[in-house]
Chain A
């Protein structure tokens, strides 16, 4: 059974600092997604990572995928308050289309 774990679960960071969120998954998959969720809102797609070694960047966020290690990272550079939200990774279960989500990382950026 595919399991997806994120850490940390909660992250409080100062503006301007850098940090990394980790996403580990337990079985084979070649597709991993990162989503952002603001309180009371739905999921906003951030990145789709489709192959080993994939790296994508958008603004202050950069995501990477290592399928051999079954690990994805979401790196935050020079955090700003607008990045405060909950971030989920989701892995496409092998041989299906369904997504298995991590527990989420609640990010709070303070001045």
Chain B
């Protein structure tokens, strides 16, 4: 079946612009995660949803970052007033079920954000 999809794949924003990144998880997957991967680094956790509930947003770097998953499927990561340090690849992952230490995460292709 279809994997995790993300759009757009590439986004160039001028400093100060707002951006919205979309993630379509694997159908039926309960949990959805967002990670940020800076160039040459490993991914870093941003936030996590179980269905529509945002259970952990401890990794969001500032209040300019906001994520939602209103119907428990598609998720949007919004970044307001983008800064150059926001340039990174934003990865979305989904897993089958919620609960502590449950299932493997499957990653999407990522959105490469460049802030100029």
Contacts and interface: CB of A to CB of B under 8 A. Distances in A.
Contact of B41 (A35, A97, A103): A103
A96 interface: yes
Interface string A83-108: 00000101010011111111110000
A90 B45 CA distance: 11
B45 A45 contact: no
A88 B42 contact: yes
Interface residues of B, number: 25
Contact of A101 (B44, B98, B106): B44
Interface residues of A, number: 22
Given A98-B33, A103-B41, A43 B107 contact: yes
A81 B28 CA distance: 37
Contact of A30 (B41, B101, B108): B101
A96 B41 contact: no
A101 to B, nearest CB: 3
Given A88-B42, A90-B43, A96-B100, 14 more contacts: A30-B101, A33-B105, A42-B110, A43-B107, A45-B104, A90-B42, A92-B101, A95-B101, A97-B31, A98-B33, A98-B59, A100-B45, A102-B42, A104-B42
